[in-house]
Structure 1
């Protein structure tokens, strides 16, 4: 039995439509996968930039703090810790943070820097490691750094 002419044309038409729909779906799915991959790679780059900035800031802050533990008492240097902090690259690292870090981290970084400055002043004012002033300043540095690291870890987990 032979099929009517119209039915044969209809079958050809549906094959063309099915091919076109398949092609469109293939292109769309490729674009979606590429977009997802691009977003993931971008997120990884941003996370790496954050991590690098965090490490540079924490490293500079630790260098300054460690140098201050060995500073000789000098009344002339009290209140001039910002110069010493700058020499250890803390401000440069803090400026880098300003480009990539959320506001909470910037606030915590400023608090940590201020705590290190207070520690500097306690050391150069002549307070030894057993004095209440030294211990309070040291504790304030540890606590400020701890809050900062916690905020940094939270920010990195979001990426």
Structure 2
């Protein structure tokens, strides 16, 4: 019996099995990382949408001068408390890096401050409302920037332009 061919066959089989295991492990890690990124994207998008919805509703409450003060305050409170901002913020605290968690909390508190200005009776054209709105806008932009950095999306507008075909020349 020729031991050399038997050992060569066994070595080839072990190398084949080993390389398959390494490739499978690598594929599993990549799939897991992709899944984690997809979960982050979904939670981030839902959180930002919830903040935006509340911001729009608070703006509506602050834009209605004919509305009774208590009715305006109630609408502002309901718009802030509605949605799933609290739950999504807690999810972010588990899955996101610390800078995104901090930015999410800052945007949340800035939105609550904006709601407080409306609850206090300030309308959209008042100085306290304008200051609170500017602070919210800054904190929301910072959150968006940190989220983009975390998920590696960069500037979506420039990425979109790269994908769009150029228009034909006249």
Range into which the TM-score falls when normalised by the shorter chain: 0.7 to 0.9
The equivalent residue for 1:94 is 89
What does residue range 6-45 of structure 1 map to in structure 2 within 5 Å? 12-45=2-35
Q: CA deviation at 1:77?
A: 7.9
Q: Which runs of 4+ in 1 moved over 3 A?
A: 72-78, 81-84
Cα distance in 1 for partners of 2:52, 2:41 equals 16
Q: Which residue of 2 aligns with 1:144?
A: 139
Alignment partner, residue 62 of structure 1: 52
Give the root-mean-square deviation of aligned CA atoms: 2.4
CA distance in 2 between partners of 1:35 and 1:154 (Å): 27
Shift of residue 98 of structure 1?
2.4
- The runs of 5 or more residues in structure 1 that have no matched partner are 1-8
Partner of 1:85 in structure 2?
80
Show structure 2 runs of 5+ residues with no match: 62-66, 154-170
- Number of the residue aligned with 2:157: none
Kindly name which structure, 1 or 2, has the bigger radius of gyration based on alpha carbons.
1
Match of 1:116 among 111, 115, 140: 111
Aligned-partner Cα distance in 1 for 2:24–2:68: 61
Return the offset for 1:156.
0.8
Provide Cα deviations, 1:76-108, integer angstroms capped at 9, x if missing partner.
987xx6764222221122122223222221111
Match of 1:50 in 2: 40
| Alignment partners' CA distance in 2, 1:41 and 1:134 | 46
Decide whether the 8 Å contact of 1:108 with 1:144 is kept in 2.
Answer: yes
How many residue pairs were aligned?
Answer: 147
Normalized against structure 2, the TM-score is what? Answer: 0.76
